[in-house]
Amino acid sequence: MAGMTSAAPGRHYLDVWGVAKSFRGTRVMSGMNFRMDRGELVSLLGPSGCGKTTLLRIIAGLMEADEGDVVLGGRNITRLPAHRRNISVVFQNYALFPHLTVAENVAFGLRARGTAKSACAGPVEEALRLVRMDAFATRPVSALSGGQQQRVAVARALVVQPDLLLLDEPFSALDRKLRETMQVELKALLRDRGITAIFVTHDQEEAMGVSDRIAVMNAGRIEQFADPSTLYARPATPFVMDFVGLSMRLGGRVVESGGQTCIVETAHGRISAPGGFAPGTAVQVGVRPELVAPGTGENTIRVELADAMVLGSKTVLHGAAQEGDRLICEMPGIRTGLARGDAVDLGWSVADTLIHEAAA
Amino acid sequence: MSGRLDRIGLLAVPALGFLAVVYALPLAMLLAKSVQGPDGFSLAEYRAFFADEYNLRVLFRTLRVAALTTALAFVIAYPTAFAMSRAKGIWLTVFLVALVLPMSLGVVVKAFAWSILFRANGVLNSALMGLGLTERPVRMLFTETALVVGAANVFLPFMVLPIYSVIRQLDARLPEAAASLGATPWFRFTRVTLPLTLPGVVAGSAFVFSLAVSMYVIPSLIVGERQQNLSMLIARSFLFLRNEALGSTLAAILLAIAIAVVLGSGWAAARLGARR
Ligand SMILES: Nc1ncnc2c1ncn2[C@@H]1O[C@H](COP(=O)(O)OP(=O)(O)OP(=O)(O)O)[C@@H](O)[C@H]1O
Ligand SMILES: [Mg+2]
């Protein structure tokens, strides 16, 4: 797969190898391989129920895999209980201890490791300062807002200097504006301290903004594991193309194949695409909407406008499409003079055309 | 706003009236007797009570049996409540039926069932002697141990159910968060699970202690007259001694204990809840 680093097991900082998991006889994950390097920030991105939390819990030791191994820093930790792994988790609802104050929550991990109460004060204060919550140290956690609770959860997870930090949708309970601020803050914090972290989300923009690499998951498998730009420009599967960013999408069948390019018959005419698919293959072609422009190009289709939306920073054209297809074109700035019902040509280059074998 | 509240408040009138007539009024009359001397108000009855060593022994025994019963019920109920919180479907039903059904059996039936188990030629002693662990039958019936065991058995549901309802609301992620922070199972239990389930323990203990401190039928059946508790003493004062002043004094003391338990548990619950 594009962008997937393949190397011998054990060479990486974290190496999840051949993991399988069933719940009451239903397989939700099998043959899962997942590797990352020290200091990397990786996102697990995928729709609800695809197994992100399951994978995270198996890595943390909160759930046992049916098969497979987890190796961290060269040590096989598969059979190690969670409390001996030194892997911190920030939970989706933060899971702060309601009977403890902010400072006591942060000190919990240190106390659990046998640090004397007096020796906790320094590190706890530093961790709280790091997340700008030092003024709240003596408050009960129930008196905090969602964003503040989230910061405390991060401080609590970091104060023990974990070998790996796992975050399960840490921003999903926050409103959009706060979420964006927190993303920037957290990324800077983890970078500065060189922390290796896995970050679960089903928001593709969040994943692209926060992480070095993204593992796109679907139905218990990793569809593609790559850096954000590769993921966007060269999605390895139709699922990734659809899930990461918007795209024009047309179903069709290969009618001619000339080695480097092939020609696909679609509901909107013939389209050339890079790739050597055999004639007769059912495929899905696509292109990112900002690479499409009104007018003719190397590939051109004629569409009837279903809508022209002026959004300020961009104008988006939607074409009337048959079931399963999507016709979309984005232009920077404000464009007027286009209306529903107009017939327009949309063009783009062959090189920008994405093509995948259609999912069976 | 107040009109609406008032009308809803009216719904409490039947209960208040009922309580006033059958509970508060007779109780007040009873308590009045305990401070009534030959010529007006007098604490003589109380002085007399606390001067008598026998009475103090009864009082102390009553409190001790209630405390031991509460402790035993807690030790059995706490793990049971956890098992129940994990149980699903048919097993949960089995648990609940096993808890609630014996309550409908009544104490008398239970007490006679125990005597089959505990008496000199009973099941337990036969087993002990058969195994050669003892030569003569061990005295079990008519002991304080038997009383505590029996009382804990009868009052167990009142400990299990409040703890169970608290555990069911416990966020399962909290012990997990503790584990991921390096806490051993013991540390997780003592620092997270136990403190968060204490409100249930407090409620259950208040129930069981109140019931055990005032129980009458169970000790009458298991230990009889030779080890009296407060309730038995009260009954004797009224029924046999015809000493209403003593009886109402004892009743007032029992009431004071009950009030202390209610206030104490309320205070504990508030303290536990204050940080949430
Ligand atoms: N304890 C469980 N018992 C039964 N099935 C489970 C359990 N935990 C997860 N599953 C199933 O496993 C699959 C993966 O669940 P998981 O929680 O890992 O998804 P997710 O990717 O984290 O989803 P979301 O984005 O909604 O959190 C789902 O189909 C879910 O129903
Ligand atoms: Mg999840």
Closest CA to A240 of A72, A6, A70, A45: A45
pLDDT digits (tens, 9 = 90+) for A118-161: 999 999 999 999 888 999 999 999 889 988 999 999 999 999 99
Outline where chain B has alpha helix (H): 2-9, 13-19, 25-34, 44-51, 53-86, 90-105, 107-118, 123-130, 144-168, 173-180, 185-188, 194-213, 217-222, 230-239, 244-274
Domains and CATH numbers, chain B: 1-34 (no CATH), 43-273 (1.10.3720.10)
In this structure, the answer to whether residues A164 and A278 fall within a common structural domain is no
Per the listing, tokens 């098992």 go with B83
CA distances from A124 to A110, A142, B109 (A): 9, 19, 60
In this structure, the answer to whether residues A200 and A259 fall within a common structural domain is no
Of A239, A259, A291, the residue that ends a domain is A239
The more confidently predicted of residues A7 and A294 is: A294
- A314: domain CATH number is 2.40.50.140
Structurally, how many domains does chain A consist of?
A: 2
Q: Sort strands A213-218 and A26-36 into parallel, antiparallel or unpaired.
A: unpaired
- Inter-residue contact A174 to A209 (CB < 8 Å): no
In this structure, the answer to whether residues A68 and A131 fall within a common structural domain is yes
The more confidently predicted of residues A4 and A204 is: A204
What one-letter code names the amino acid at A44? L
In this structure, the answer to whether residues A207 and A89 fall within a common structural domain is yes
Which pLDDT score is estimated for A155? 94
| Average confidence score pLDDT of chain B | 87
Q: Which residues of chain B lie closer than 8 angstroms to A98, CB-CB?
A: 174, 196, 275-276
Provide, rounded to the nearest whole percent, the portion of chain A with pLDDT above 70.
Answer: 97
Report, as an integer, the average pLDDT of A171-184: 85
For residue A186, pLDDT over 70 is answered with yes
| Average confidence score pLDDT of chain A | 90
In this structure, the answer to whether residues A229 and A294 fall within a common structural domain is no
Largest CA distance in chain B: 76
Which pLDDT score is estimated for A6? 41
CA distances from A128 to A149, A196, A210, B192 (A): 12, 20, 22, 21
Of A100, A112, A140, the CB nearest to B183: A112
Nearest residue by C-alpha to atom 7 in ligand 1: A23
In this structure, the answer to whether residues A214 and A186 fall within a common structural domain is yes
In this structure, the answer to whether residues A225 and A260 fall within a common structural domain is no
Which pLDDT score is estimated for B4? 61
> How far out from the chain centre does Cα B269 lie?
17
Lowest mean pLDDT among A176-185, A283-292, B100-109: B100-109
Kindly state if the Cβ of A279 falls inside 6 Å of ligand 1: no
pLDDT digits (tens, 9 = 90+) for B213-269: 999 988 988 888 888 899 999 998 888 888 888 888 888 899 999 899 989 988 888
* B106 φ/ψ sector (left φ>0, alpha ψ -120 to 50, else beta): left
Provide, rounded to the nearest whole percent, the portion of chain B with pLDDT above 90.
Answer: 36
Per 3-state DSSP, what percentage of chain A is helix, strand, and coil (rounded to 5)? 25, 35, 40
| CB neighbours of residue A59 within 10 Å | 23
In this structure, the answer to whether residues A208 and A325 fall within a common structural domain is no
With an 8 Å Cβ cutoff, are A113 and B178 in contact? Answer: no
pLDDT digits (tens, 9 = 90+) for A103-112: 999 999 999 9
In this structure, the answer to whether residues A80 and A11 fall within a common structural domain is yes
Nearest residue by C-alpha to atom 27 in ligand 1: A48
pLDDT digits (tens, 9 = 90+) for A26-58: 999 999 999 999 999 999 999 999 999 999 999
Q: Measured between alpha carbons, how far is B174 from A126 in angstroms, rounded to an integer?
A: 24
Q: Is A257 on the interface with B (CB under 8 A)?
A: no
Chain A CA closest to residue B182? A83
Q: Measured between alpha carbons, how far is B260 from A319 in angstroms, rounded to an integer?
A: 77
In this structure, the answer to whether residues A14 and A100 fall within a common structural domain is yes
SS3 at position A19: strand
Of B181, B195, B276, the CB nearest to A112: B181
Q: Measured between alpha carbons, how far is B173 from A62 in angstroms, rounded to an integer?
A: 10
pLDDT digits (tens, 9 = 90+) for A312-356: 889 999 999 888 899 999 999 888 888 888 899 999 999 999 999
Q: Which domain holds residue A327?
A: 247-357
